[in-house]
Amino acid sequence: MKTWLDKWEPEDNEFWQNTGSAIAWKTLTITTLSLILSFASWFMMSVIAVKLPGLGFAFSKDELFWLVAIPGLAAGFLRIIHTFILPIFGTRHVVAWATLIKLIPVVGIGFAVMDTSTPFWVFAVLAFTCGFGGGDFSSYMPSTSLFFPKRLKGTALGIQAGIGNFGVSLAQFVTPLILGVSLYGASAVFTSIDAKEALSVFQTVESTKQKDVFSALEPQVQTALLSSVKPAVLDSVKATIGTTDNATLFVALPAKAKAKVMANANPKLAEKIMNQLSPDTKAVVNKSIYIQSAAFWYVPFLIILSIISWFYLRSIPMHSSIKEQMDIFGNKHTWYCTITYVMTFGTFAGLSAAFPLMIKFLYGDFPNAPDPLVYAFYGPLIGSASRVAFGFVADKVGGAILTTLTGVGIIGGAIVLITQGLVAPTSLDQFPMFVGVIFLMFFFTGVGNAGTFRQYPIIFADNQRQAAGVIGWTAAIAAFGPFIFSKLIGGNLTFNGTVNQFFIGLILFCIFATIINWWFYNRKGCEKPS
C-alpha cells in the first residue's frame, strides 16, 4: 500500500480545493481521534493513583506522586524522539504504530491493579509506558502543520490540540463511571475513611483504649501515622505532656487531629485501627469497584484506530534526516518559544496531572471531604475547550497577545492561591474558591496554547520544516510539566504541608516567560510580530 503522497502544495488554491482539502481534513480527523486516546492514556495513572491506597496498595504519598510524575518524564523524552521521526517515517507509519503501542500500558496496568502485591517498581515501569501517549503530540502536531495552508494553520492546530487535550478530561471523567462496570476480572473492595465519623469515634472512645490500640502497632507505623500531624501541633503536644512516647502523643492529640491522621493514613490500615476502636463505626466506608476497567476500556478503541490509521492515512513527501532537522537549535527563537510553551502547555499538563492529588492531600482530611475525581476532569476540559475556541481567535488577532494574556492570568491565579491561603487551607469552606481559581488558570492555559501554536508557523514562516520541528521540540520540553509539577508539589506537601513555595516559583517563571513573549513577539516594533 502506498504511503507517501506524490506532491503536496496547500498554498496552491487549485490543488487545495481539488485535492488537498479533503486529504488534510481526513488526516486531521483521524490523528485527532488518536490524539484523544494518547492524552487519555498518558494521564491514566493520575486518576488510578488516587484509588490505589483504598485498594490496599501500601504506597506512600511520595510514591503516589512519583507514579503521577513518571509519565510526564517519559513523555518529555519520547516527544524529543517524535520531534525527528515524522520526516523519516511519515504520518501513516508514525500514527498507526504509536496508537497500537499504547496497548502496553493499558493492558499492563489493568492486570497490575488486580493484585495488591504488585510491587512499586512494576507500577513505575508501567507509568513510564503511559508516556507513550504523551510522546505522540510532537509528531502529530507538526504533521497537521504541514498538511494545512498558512491561513488555516491556527484553526487546524487549535482544533487538533484542543480536542486532543480533551483526552485528559476523558480519562478523569470515564474513570469514576467505569469503575462499577465489569470488563474483565473480579471486583476489589475500595476503602475510605469518613473524617466526620472518625472524629466522633475519637470523641467517644476512652483514652486508655485508644492508647492500647495505637501501642499495638509497629513503631515505624506509629511514626508514619504521626508524621501527617502538623509539626506545630505535634511540638505543642510534646511540650505540654513532656514525653516523646508515640502512643502517649497520639492519645494527647486533639480529636480533630487524630481524625485527620486516620483520613491521611493508608485506608486499609485506618480501617483496622477504627474497627478495633469501635467495631460498629460508620467511619469505614467500603464499596466494590473494578479498578482494572479504568485501563481495559481503552483496548478496543486503540486497536480500531490503529487499523484506520494504517489504511486511511498518507504521508507528505518531505524527507529529512535527523542531522538536517538539528538546524532548529541554532535559532534563538526556538528557545524563546520553548520557554513560552512551557508556561502555557507545561502548566496545563502539570496541573492536569497534579490536580487530583492536590485535592486529596490539601482538602481530603476535612469532614465531608470532596472526591478528587468528581472535580479533576473539569480543569482539563476547560483548558481544552478554550484552546479550541481561541484557535479561531488567534487566526484573527494573532497569537502573541493571547500568550501575553495567559501569562498575566496564570500569575494572577497563583497570587490568589497564595494570598488567600487556598493551598494551605484551614477549612473546607476554602475549597470552592480553590477549585474556581484552578479552573481559571486552566482556562488561560488553553488560551495560551492556542496562541503559541498560531505564533510558531509565523515566527518560522521562512522555513515551514523548521516550524514543524519547533512545534515538536517545544511540545517535548513542555511535556515535562506533569513530572515537574507532581514532584515539586508532592515534595512541598511532604515537607511543608502546603504548596505555597511551588506557586511562588511558578509566578517568577511566568513573569520571565511573559516578558520574553511581549518583548520579541507582542510589543510595538518587536522582532517577530505574531
pLDDT digits (tens, 9 = 90+) for 433-492: 999 999 999 999 999 988 887 888 788 877 766 776 777 788 778 878 878 887 888 778
The answer for residues whose C-beta is within 8 angstroms of residue 78's C-beta and 6 or more apart is 131, 132, 134, 135
DSSP 162-192: HHHHHHHHHHHHHHHHHTTS-SSS--EEEEE
- Indicate whether 182 and 152 sit together in one domain: yes
DSSP result, 456-523: HHHHTTT-HHHHHHHHHHHHHHHTTHHHHHHHHHHHHHHHHSS-HHHHHHHHHHHHHHHHHHIIIIIS
User: Is the Cβ–Cβ distance between 173 and 371 less than 8 Å?
Assistant: no
Q: How many CB atoms lie within 10 A of CB 98?
A: 24
pLDDT of residue 6: 80
Q: Which domain holds residue 279?
A: 189-287
Cα–Cα distance measured from residue 156 to residue 141, given in angstroms and rounded to the nearest whole number: 9
> Do 229 and 130 sit in the same domain of this protein?
no
Is the pLDDT at 318 greater than 70, yes or no? no
Contact at 8 Å (CB) between 74 and 130? Answer: yes
Mark whether 304 and 256 lie in a shared domain.
no
Q: CA 477, CA 77: separation in Å to the nearest integer?
A: 8
Contact 65, 77 (CB under 8 A): no
CATH no. for residue 377?
Answer: 1.20.1250.20
Flag whether 430 is in a domain: yes
Structural domain total, the chain: 2
Question: In the block, which residue shows the cell 491506597?
Answer: 53
Residues 464/457, Cβ–Cβ less than 8 Å:
yes
Distance between CA atoms of residues 33 and 136, nearest Å: 12
DSSP state letter for 1: -
End residue of a domain, out of 287, 311, 328: 287
pLDDT greater than 90 at residue 302: yes
- Residue range 239-267: mean pLDDT, rounded: 79
Nearest to 275 by CA among 361, 187, 215, 205: 205
Q: Is residue 134 situated within a structural domain?
A: yes
Reported as a pLDDT band with limits 50, 70 and 90, residue 242 is confident
Does residue 529 belong to any structural domain of this protein? no
Shared domain for 280 and 297, answered yes or no, is no
Q: What is the mean pLDDT of residues 226-230?
A: 76
Farthest CA pair distance, the chain: 87
Nine cell digits for residue 58: 501500601
Which of 261, 287, 313 terminates a domain? The answer is 287
pLDDT for 157 beyond 90: no
pLDDT digits (tens, 9 = 90+) for 170-219: 887 788 788 888 888 888 888 888 878 888 888 888 888 888 888 888 88
Give the Cα separation of 10 and 17 in Å (integer). Answer: 9
pTM of the model: 0.73
DSSP conformation letters of 53-93: HHHT----HHHHHHHHHHHHHHHHHHHHHHHHHHHHHHHHH
What is the CA angle 291-222-259, rounded to 5?
65
Residue with cell 505535634: 234
Instruction: Kindly state whether residues 311 and 452 are assigned to the same domain.
Output: yes
pLDDT digits (tens, 9 = 90+) for 36-68: 999 889 888 888 888 888 888 888 878 888 898
Mean pLDDT of 154-163: 78
Contact 283, 369 (CB under 8 A): no
Which one, of 199, 175, 151, lies nearest residue 47 by Cα? 175
The per-residue pLDDT for range 369-407, each reduced to its tens digit, is 788 877 877 888 898 888 878 877 887 888 899 999 999
In a domain, 2, yes or no: no
Domain presence at residue 528: no
Q: With cut-offs at 50, 70 and 90, classify the pLDDT of residue 122.
A: very high
Q: Are 217 and 230 contained in the same domain?
A: yes
Between the alpha carbon of residue 153 and those of residues 379, 394, 458, 482, the distances in Å are 26, 10, 10, 27
Burial (CB count <10 Å: 0-12, 13-18, 19+), residue 82: buried
Please say whether the beta carbons of 489 and 147 come within 8 A.
no
The reply to whether 314 and 263 lie within a common domain is: no
- Phi and psi at 49, nearest 5°, equal -60, -35
Q: In this structure, is residue 337 part of a structural domain? A: yes
Q: Which stretch of DSSP H or E encloses residue 435?
A: helix 431-459
411 and 490 assigned to the same domain? yes
User: What is d(CA 458, CA 303) in angstroms, rounded to the nearest whole number?
Assistant: 37
* 3-state SS, residue 337: helix
Inter-CA distances, 294 with 13, 133, 182, 483, Å: 46, 16, 10, 22
Cell output for 268: 486499609
The three grid cell numbers given for residue 211, joined into one nine-digit string? 492508647
**Are 282 and 372 in a shared domain?**
no
Residue 494 inside a domain? The answer is: yes
DSSP of 378-399: HHHHHHHHHHHHHHHHHHHH-S
* Sequence-separated contacts (24+) of 365-369 with Cβ below 8 Å: 365/195, 365/259, 365/260, 365/263, 365/264, 366/195, 366/425, 366/427, 366/428, 366/431, 367/194, 367/195, 367/196, 367/199, 367/259, 367/428, 368/195, 368/196, 368/428, 369/195, 369/263, 369/428
CA of residue 422 relative to chain centroid, distance: 20
Residue 230: pLDDT over 80: no
The residue out of 262, 287, 312 marking a domain boundary is 287
For the chain, the average pLDDT equals: 84
Judgement on whether residues 145 and 260 belong to the same structural domain of the protein: no
SS3 for 282?
coil
Based on C-alpha coordinates, what's the Rg of the chain?
Answer: 25
Residue 258 lies in a domain: yes
State whether 350 and 483 are in the same domain.
Answer: yes
Based on the fold, state whether residues 301 and 399 are members of the same structural domain: yes
* Measured CA angle at 96 (ends 22, 23), to 5 deg: 5
Pairing state of beta strands 188-193 and 284-289? Answer: antiparallel
Give the distance, in angstroms, between the CA of residue 188 and the centroid of all CA atoms in the same chain: 26
